[in-house]
Chain A
């Protein structure tokens, strides 16, 4: 398996081809079988490869599987090559198995949708692209997957292409991601130009070597981070993710929560050598992460669409991951990526199950009292909510605490680290609050929907509940792979240790035991405060609590509801000027250019108009011309 790593992304790609070409004519059973098989094969082969890797390599070396030389020109070049190392394996396990669960779930959720085959074809293609992203051994090959997942994201957000807002949301996601990709490309150009390679290991090695300017490293890191901010929805490029909820819910779970949006975190963790060489870049990453975490969490408090709440929550949690990788706790960032994949996938799939039960309703103000009606969904949702809120010993607690404790004790920028810790803790408070608000509004109180919806309420089929149960279990116990040092063995941190090579002159992060205890206690308290506040406000009073808040401070309520008007600000400052500029180019500049081109044509035509009068059709005229021509010719030759 280790020398045939290409089989892993190829498996879902074959599924995509089969479903893409024949899915429309084949039945749903066939489409489902192909899609499940494609994703399961990737998961199984990936697991096999991981075990083989663990058997062969005991110190976390990189296993390189070169397929062929992509191009080489002078002394630069790139290979089509896959690699396996501890970080890829963590990503591989999360992506393939969570991906497989969501494939299973989708069969139930999408059962009555038009374009069932199209959905599964895209989903398989996504998985293939994501696997290239995480298994590629160079930035360039990773970029192939990076663009591939962007394409699939676009296709799946715009899955309901006959709805204007879905088509627009897909376009928005694609265009905003282009801005990030621009940064990624510039970073790669810089690597080619100054480091002479885009291979992960070579870039790291050459960056460590002497004679490399610190400013260059910072530039590469910041441009890479621009790419990461686009893909992973960080300020200022986060705006596409909430809109991306226009896609089907399992897509939100797979692409816009568990896997694709974490690609940026993966990339920063992958580039940890360069980042650690540039504390400036790390400070930027951590600060942006902290601001995004807090900013998105406050918006989440006032959203009423169940998926929008989760979308802002995702943005916020991604911010936490960037705090982790930004303060130098790369394994903590990846740890949160993993646990987040579990509980956020569970939450999104749970939300999908709720929407399914509510006959398509997404507004939590019209839900309520679903606890008894859809018990499996409710229980799994509760477990995932506890996990994201950060109560011990659920998954989110360990990962979030490791991040916050790392921020507190980061050696790279101690002062800023404390501030980031404070911001992160406030964000965690909001997280617990909005998640339990969502939970209580959805599952408690009286049912606020229509009679028809109440009549149709039903628990989802087994294809949907089984993935929910599995993910809820992972949300509950998944954190045990990375328990804090004060409790014992942080397995994940040790597993990932080899990808973070020691650097001369760079102090590695070490969390003192007392800090760890203090942070854990504070975090638990904060989560409890969030929980109790949400419970007091929303358990019995339901939507009335929101209305009271609206009466008391209408300005703040409206600002939050409208997401700080960021979309409007972008509209005014970026989109409108761009549109006006484009219109100017189109209407004015283009007509001038067109005018010049048209003028040339006009001259030619006028000249032709004159000449055509020689074409009289009169034979004797031609004969005369001929004769004159001969005479002139003779005269010249004389």
Chain B
């Protein structure tokens, strides 16, 4: 069996890639995808532990997270569409009205 540490390392790598994507990308959709990456890295952690301890809690959490991620995607996409209507762009640097 593959040791749990490997899953955790993979999860950490995926999460870090997600963070880097969120911090460096301008395109809203890309940022969104990066966030999904982070969410799924966490999912992976849950599943890895669920398998190690042979318990259902982690799996149930994953289902919840997937449902929330789907809802979040719907809301997020709606925001970006709306933003595109106003700004002709989904570049998050253009959405900077609230600043000094």
Using a CB–CB cutoff of 8 Å, the interface residues on chain A facing chain B are 612-613, 615-620, 623-624, 627
Q: How far is the CA of A618 from the CA of B95 in the complex (A)?
A: 7
- Per-position 1/0 for B13-35, Cβ under 8 A of A: 00000010011111000010000
- Taking CB atoms, residues of chain B closer than 8 Å to A623 are 22-23
Q: Output the least CB separation between A516 and chain B (Å).
A: 95
Q: How far is the CA of A619 from the CA of B25 in the complex (A)?
A: 11
Q: List 10 A-B contacts (CB under 8 A).
A: A612-B100, A615-B99, A617-B96, A618-B92, A620-B23, A620-B31, A620-B92, A623-B22, A623-B23, A627-B22
Name the residue on B nearest A609 (C-beta): B100
Partner of A619, one of B19, B24, B95, B100: B95
Q: Do residues B100 and A618 form an inter-chain contact, with CB atoms below 8 A?
A: no
Q: Do residues A618 and B93 form an inter-chain contact, with CB atoms below 8 A?
A: yes
- Taking CB atoms, residues of chain A closer than 8 Å to B19 are 627
Q: How far is the CA of A618 from the CA of B96 in the complex (A)?
A: 5
Name the residue on B nearest A616 (C-beta): B99
- Taking CB atoms, residues of chain A closer than 8 Å to B25 are 620
Q: Which 8 A-B pairs have the closest CB atoms?
A: A617-B99, A617-B96, A619-B92, A612-B100, A615-B100, A616-B99, A617-B98, A623-B22
Q: Do residues A624 and B23 form an inter-chain contact, with CB atoms below 8 A?
A: yes
Q: Do residues A617 and B22 form an inter-chain contact, with CB atoms below 8 A?
A: no
Q: Tell which of B19, B31, B93, B99 has the most Cβ of chain A within 10 Å.
A: B99
- Taking CB atoms, residues of chain A closer than 8 Å to B22 are 620, 623, 627
Q: Do residues B100 and A616 form an inter-chain contact, with CB atoms below 8 A?
A: yes
Q: Output the least CB separation between B45 and chain A (Å).
A: 15
Is B97 positioned at the interface, with any CB of A under 8 Å from its CB?
A: yes
Name the residue on A nearest B22 (C-beta): A623
Q: Output the least CB separation between B67 and chain A (Å).
A: 24
Partner of B96, one of A612, A613, A616, A624: A616
Q: Do residues A620 and B98 form an inter-chain contact, with CB atoms below 8 A?
A: no
Q: How far is the CA of A617 from the CA of B98 in the complex (A)?
A: 5
Given pairs A618-B93, A620-B31, 18 additional interface contacts (CB within 8 A): A613-B100, A615-B98, A615-B99, A617-B96, A617-B98, A617-B99, A617-B100, A618-B92, A619-B92, A619-B95, A619-B96, A620-B22, A620-B23, A620-B24, A620-B26, A620-B92, A627-B19, A627-B22
- Taking CB atoms, residues of chain B closer than 8 Å to A616 are 96, 99-100
Q: Do residues B23 and A627 form an inter-chain contact, with CB atoms below 8 A?
A: yes
- Per-position 1/0 for B41-73, Cβ under 8 A of A: 000000000000000000000000000000000
Q: How far is the CA of A618 from the CA of B26 in the complex (A)?
A: 10
- Taking CB atoms, residues of chain B closer than 8 Å to A619 are 92-93, 95-96
- Taking CB atoms, residues of chain B closer than 8 Å to A617 are 96-100
